[in-house]
Amino acid sequence: KYLRVSTIKQGVVRQDMQLDKIGVKFDKEYVDKMIGKSKERSMLNKIIFELREGDTVYCESISRLARSLKDLIDIIA
């Protein structure tokens, strides 16, 4: 699962709680603590590098993953 908060002071508890509701056991957790506009999100880059065919990435909301449709398309590509 991928979690992102905008500042170091913010926590991921709310996002964790939302993802817990779907009842999936997550093998790995990746957390970025930085603004979403930054293209240099180290944990997101790590997920992209480690993903293999058949893997699924869970994120509490699209806004935690991408800041726009174009950004989302770029990440998926």
Would you please indicate which residues are annotated as catalytic (active-site) residues? 6
What is the Rg, in whole angstroms, of the alpha carbon atoms belonging to the chain? 12
Q: Which residue reads 């930054």 in tokens?
A: 38
Q: How many CB atoms lie within 10 A of CB 25?
A: 4
Q: Which residue reads 């699924």 in tokens?
A: 56
Beta bridge partners of 8: none
Q: What is the DSSP letter of 59?
A: B
